[in-house]
Amino acid sequence: MYKVFVNDIPIILSTKKEIGEAYTSYPIRTVRLKKILKKIDKGKLLYVNLYHEDEEKLLKFLLKKLRMVTAAGGLVLNEKDEILFIYRNKRWDLPKGKTEKGESIEDSAIREVEEETGVQDLEITKFLQKTYHVFKRKGKYRLKVTHWYEMRTSYSGELKPEQKEGIEKAKWKNLEKSQKALTKSYANIKLLFSEKYLPGHPKDRVA
């Protein structure tokens, strides 16, 4: 199963025809994806399930219909186990950005964190997951696939938000402040958080 977000509204890609009464299900063999996306954009459709019995064909379908943009980013922790957030477009987010030509995804993730926040001495500790987000560029829908990594750093210097990218703030946040930030974040960012990072945090609030 995949969750693909459109303006924080998830499109579910699954092998099941029925996943809940609230969901409208469409077989990927016959669905007109762009029509679905336009309805979601206009607020006319909220719960969508696209299904096919072959799980391997679910993502292939999406990649065939939409041009893909590859991005990478980090859930960064310091020596106090505080999490690094950025503030842009009136939302708290995690540092991320587009992978450049000839660049590995891991190098891209580190570079983007450094550029957007000024944090140095980053070490990738593990891969977390991919998130999927549909956006519009020049009137056409695109699929952004972001590769997320857990990172650690001993950096304790000044944070420098990348203002030319519209980033107003870069902040280290403890458990309590991270929980609060997630209430003003994006659905795909909430997917990255688990009991490991926010112990005791109700899962239904960050799912």
Are residues 52 and 138 part of one domain?
Answer: no
Q: Which of 40, 65, 90 delimits the end of a domain?
A: 65
Give per-residue pLDDT as tens, 25-63. 999 999 999 999 999 999 999 999 999 999 989 989 999
> When comparing pLDDT for 71 and 59, which is higher?
71
Q: Are 158 and 185 part of one and the same domain?
A: yes
- Compute the distance between CA of residue 50 and CA of residue 72 in angstroms, rounded to an integer: 26
Q: How confident is the model over 128-142, as pLDDT tens digits? A: 999 999 999 888 999
The H-or-E segment that residue 203 falls in is: helix 203-206
Give yes or no: residues 56 and 84 share one domain.
Answer: no
> Average pLDDT over the chain, rounded to whole?
92
Cα–Cα distance for residue pair 57/40, rounded to 1 Å: 23
pLDDT-based confidence at residue 204 (cuts at 50, 70, 90): very low
The two tokens of residue 19 are 């996943």
Q: Is the same domain home to 200 and 124?
A: yes
Question: Quick one: pLDDT at residue 133?
Answer: 94
Other beta carbons within 10 Å of 54 = 10
What is the count of structural domains for the chain? 2
Of 65, 84, 116, the residue at which a domain comes to its end is: 65
Q: Which of the listed residues 45, 65, 85 is the one where a domain comes to its end?
A: 65
Do 58 and 129 belong together in one domain? no
Give residue 132's domain range.
Answer: 68-206
pTM: 0.91
Cα–Cα distances (Å) from 81 to 16, 133, 156, 174, 188, in that order, read: 39, 28, 12, 7, 21
**Same domain (yes/no): 31, 111:** no
State the DSSP code for 164: G
State how beta strands 2-6 and 122-137 pair: parallel
pLDDT digits (tens, 9 = 90+) for 141-195: 999 999 999 999 999 999 999 999 999 999 999 999 999 999 999 999 999 998 7
Rounded to an integer, the average pLDDT of 79-104 is: 97
Please check whether residues 59 and 72 belong to one and the same domain.
no
42/130 same-domain check: no
